[in-house]
Amino acid sequence: MEKALKKSAPIFVLPTLIAFIIGFIVPFGQGLYLSFCKFTTVNNAEWVGLSNYKAALTDASFGRSFVFTVLFAVVSILTINVIAFGLAVLLTQKIKGTNIFRTVFFMPNLIGGIVLGYIWQILINCVLTLVEKPLLALNSTAGYWGLIILMCWQQIGYMMIIYIAGLQNVPDSLIEAAEIDGANKWQALLKVKIPMVMSSITVCVFLTLTNSFKLFDQNLALTGGDPNHSTEMMALNIYQTFYARAGALWKGYGQAKAVIFCILVISIALFQLKATRSKEVQQ
């Protein structure tokens, strides 16, 4: 079997491999190399060593975007997962219309980040006008909470679906056994259900974590970083360094930021996977 298959390797692997090399491997390698260079296009790169990194790490706006991203990520991961899990628990009870509720809660997921950002910008600006507060463009507190609300609206449905699938896999016999042993509903939830869906929790926390850190479209459309870059997240900050300013140094400088960002996302994701995986139970 393996032998026969190996002969036809080019047919099976080459199309994806070539596209993967063009779409990922080459840009990734080049990006890594260019982060040590001064350049405006790929062809006029000049090696400058670590000076891009030095500039990136001492850039106050990059540091500020990091703090903003972390604050955003912590709050959004908590709210999204708690609410999504709560909804999943309610929707796995024996009530009527669960299908309709599931359909409605999932819907915002299908709408793209740019359109979502725009919808919420209109809505939030109108509310702010009614309560006579400054609009989003001048109001960083509203920008922060606006982003949180937007992300909750978009992601809760998705995570809820994953939690529902996890909860439905918990065998009824386990819950019954716990009830016979005298556990009440809360105890059954905390001591039996949650440990049993730990693998869903790992997946959902992983997804919300990486989504929060990589968030770009929604940030661009809702606040665009206004006022004065105070609601700018890391991805948007990197984009602005690349495309919003001029000067030969800037591109290498943005690429260095991108490499730092990439290492940060990967290490946080790995750390989180390790931390929650260790709490999973064998079924």
Partner 1 sequence: MKQKKNIGNYIITVILSILSLLWIYPAFMILMNSLKKESAISTGSVFKLPTAETFAGLDNFIDAIASKGFLSSLFYSLFITITSVAAILLFCSMCAWYITRVKSAFSKIMYLLFAFSMVVPFQMVMFTLSQTADRLKLNTPWTIWIIYLGFGAGLAVFMFCGFVKSIPVEIEEAALIDGCNPVQTFFMIDMHMLAPTMISVGILEAMWVWNDYLLPTLVLDIKKYKTIPMLIQYFRGSYGKVEMGPMMASIMLTIIPIIIVYLAGQKYIIKGVAAGAVKG
Site string for partner 1, 101-120 (x = CB under 8 A): xxxxxxxxxxxxxxx--xxx
* 162 touches partner 1 by CB under 8 A: yes
Residue numbers 177-196 binding partner 1 by CB under 8 A: none
Considering only 57, 82, 177, 266, the residue that binds partner 1 (CB under 8 A) is 266
Inter-CA distances, 212 with 100, 149, 155, 235, Å? 28, 13, 10, 10
Per DSSP, the residues of 22-88 read IIIIHHHHHHHHHTTEE-SSGGG-EE-TTHHHHHHHH-HHHHHHHHHHHHHHHHHHHHHHHHHHHHH
Site string for partner 1, 46-85 (x = CB under 8 A): ----------------------------------------
Residue numbers 188-247 binding partner 1 by CB under 8 A: 200, 203-204, 207, 210, 213-214, 216-217, 220-221, 235, 238-239, 242
d(CA 4, CA 2): 6
Per DSSP, the residues of 125-136 read HHHHHHTT---G
| Beta-bridge mates of residue 47 | 37
Considering only 46, 74, 78, 129, the residue that binds partner 1 (CB under 8 A) is 129
Four-residue CA torsion sign, 171, 174, 180, 183: negative
Considering only 50, 67, 78, 165, the residue that binds partner 1 (CB under 8 A) is 165
Considering only 36, 72, 253, 261, the residue that binds partner 1 (CB under 8 A) is 261
Tokens 């140094």, residue located = 249
Q: How far is the CB of 252 from partner 1 (least distance, A)?
A: 10
Q: How far is the CB of 102 from partner 1 (least distance, A)?
A: 7
Q: How far is the CB of 165 from partner 1 (least distance, A)?
A: 4
Per DSSP, the residues of 258-276 read HHHHHHHHHHHHHHHHHHH
Q: How far is the CB of 245 from partner 1 (least distance, A)?
A: 14
